[in-house]
Structures are given as structure tokens and as C-alpha cells.
Structure 1
Amino acid sequence: MLTAIGALPHLELLDLEEDPEFVPLFGPESSTTVELPHGSFPVLQKLVIYVHKRFELVERIWNIATLVRRLTSVSLCVKPPVDYAQACDLVRNIHQGSPLVRDLILDFRHIWRHLGLLKTGFAALLSQFPLQRLYFAEQYNIQDGQRCTGQELALALPNVEHLQLYGYNFTFQDLTFIAAHMPRLETLSISIKVGADWPSMDDIPLPSLKPSSSQLLFHFPNSPSISTLSKSKDPSVVERIAV
């Protein structure tokens, strides 16, 4: 079937979903690499994959060089449990087979537990891509103290323009590093941890503001006071939150 699909001369997007009801009769499928004609998938740029049960299917897909080598966009939704080593191997395989990817979606939210994937080593793997857009999500956990710092994240993703991270809390200090080291950022969507360590508005030098198309989407978990402030129409309140 892939041979026939790969012959389509104008196919730019391919959406693959594992059949959750399929049960192999003789154990896991053969790990033999699928061979396709050299000119297969000549203009394929975006690959979307939904994995319900067998994580090894992703590895098999990235063993098909003619399928993945021209990709610039990858969207992957994973439902079976994986560990940190498997997630790192996944990112390595994607980079090895698809080094041109600049739009990456990694969605692990359907796994029932927090995986703690966003560590320093994982950020270093992401830094190998020419990323402009990154969406990374897993189950939320406010107690994860092992994630990479805002500085490590910002230095790993200096050219990212659109960043969405779900499952982690970030601090004021994290935001300062992101602002300092991600100059191309246009859209930022993260969860903010508000605490006593946040400086007051009077302690922060007012920046020289210029018109910008950038969007900042903040989520303040379990913070009724911030929720109340965010609904205010008082410009000073808006300024306080933005600064």
C-alpha cells in the first residue's frame, strides 16, 4: 500500500493512525525495513501519526527513509506508556531520518501518568532541529523538579517562533531567560507558577515598549487572585501581568 501511496506526485500531507482493535496473530510484526522505490513521496512534507498501542510502530516508520527524509512537519500523538529513554530514542530517530523538521508536535497527554520528559538531555536533542514551532505536552504535574531550566530551554530553542508547553509550571526567572534568549518568539503558551519570589511591579525596570504581533498565553493554575486580576479592565493590572 505504501508503494502505491508513495507514487502520488502531489502528496504533501500523510495522516496515519494505528487501528486500536488490531491484534497481531503471531506476535510483533517483522522488524524488516520496508523498501520503497527511491522516488517515493517526492513532495511529502507533513506526517501526522496516532499510536494507540504499539510504540514500536513509530520506529518502524522512521526506518523508511524515502517516506520521512523530506519532512518539515511532524505531529505525533502517543497513547501507550513510554519511558524517558524511549522518548529520547524517538527524537533521535526523527532527527536522523528527518533533519529538516521545523514544526514538531509531541503529544503524550493520553498517557495516564506524568513522564517527566522535559529534562536537559531531551532539550539538547530538540536543539538539533531547525525548529520554528514546538508543541510539547504530557500529563500535568506541579511537583516535577527535574525539568530543564528556562535558560536551558531558551538556549536550546533560539529560533523558535511559536512555543506551547503543557504539563509543567514555569517561574518568573524562567520567563526572563525565555525573553532574553528567544528573540524570534511570537506565540508563547505555558503554565505560570506564581509565588512569593515574584518581584513587585515597582522592582522591575519598565521596558521600552514597541508595537508587536507577539501573543503571550499564560495559564495560572490554582491562583484565584491572579484569575481575578486577569479579568480586570484596569490598564495598570494588564501592565502588571504583562511585565
Structure 2
Amino acid sequence: GGSTSEHHDRSLEWVDINDDVYNMFFLSRLGGQAFWYGIYIFVLKLTLYVFLAMDALDIEQPKNVSEQVLVTQFFMLPVAVAMQDDLIATYYLVANIKYTELIQKECPHASNVKFHVANFCRGVDGMFSLFVNFIILMKATEVLSLFLNFAALQFLQTIDNIALRLCADGYLTERLELVANQVMTIQLPNKNNTFLRSLDSILFMSTFTALLIGWGLISFG
């Protein structure tokens, strides 16, 4: 554990939580500034993903794609999953981090329900992002455009982290700055269950396998 672990139960290993706007929501007061800010960023990202997906789905599925593109797509599938910061963070949290009421000593509004809601929203965000990435990957007709589209999507994924930094650096309100800085210092305990600890790897591989099957069906089906 880190600096705060001195005050905590010694039998637990304490780890930092993700520095993103979803954890601002988790620590926020119900109906407070950080609460609505978190919801706003979530809705913003989802809206952008939906518009992107609608646009991408309108593009006709290319036929007779070159072997170069197919090979690149194949190798980019695990990269597509690994690039999804929010999805990877969700898998990690589900597998490794558990909620404890001890956190309420420092953040009285950090409830168990909000912990799970925040994680669910982060997961939805990550899944949407992966879905859009996958569609754009499948619509590629040349290697260069495939990479350029991937790079362009990368910035969308970081919106929630940028949103937190804006607050932490004091560009918005003092209240948001306070919550953002709490996110960056607060810790939660690790799970001790060996099976659960390997769950993130299982989830990662399952996601990759699903993409692989989808890619195979679309490319060769």
C-alpha cells in the first residue's frame, strides 16, 4: 500500500484507484458538482461514440480486402483491446479491487452503490469505444487509413482522464478540484481471492476471442 495504508487494516494491500472522472463520480456527493460532472462526461463520450458508430456503419463493408489489410487487422485485434484504457481498468477493478466502508472516513459520500455504478459506466464506455474501434478496423481498405483512424480514436478514450486533470489543476471549481485530488490520493484494498485475481486475464482473453471470431466471420464468412 501507499502513504494512506498506515491508517488501514494491515492485512489488506491497498492500491491506488484509477485517475478518471468515473472515480470523481464515485467519491462525489449525490447531486453535487462532481456527480453531475461525471455524468456529463459519460454522456458526452457515449454520444460521440454513437455518432461515430452510426457513421462508420453507414460505410459499405469492403469486399476483396487485400491480404495486407487482413493481416494488419488480425494483428491489431489484441492491440484494439489493450488500447481501451477504460475497459482494461474495469476488468482490473472487477478482478482486483474491493470496496470498503473505511474509505468513508476520508470520503463520506463514497458509497458501495456509486462504486459499482462508476465501474459499470466505465465498462460501458470502454465497450462502446472497443465497438467503434472494431467497426472502423473492419471497414478499412488500406493499412494507412486503418492506423490513422486508430490514432484518431485514441484521443476520445482519454477524455475522462483529461476531464479529471482539468479539475485537479484547478481550471474549474474548487469543489471539483478537491474531489479530483481525492481521486488521485485515495486507495482501496486488493481482493485476496486467487480466482478473482485472474479474472481480468480471463475477461481480456474473452474479449479478444470475441473480436477474433467477429473478424473471422466478417472477413471470411
TM-score normalized by the length of structure 1? 0.19
Larger RCO (CA under 8 A, 6+ residues apart): 2
Q: Which has the higher helix share?
A: 2
TM-score normalized by the length of structure 2? 0.20
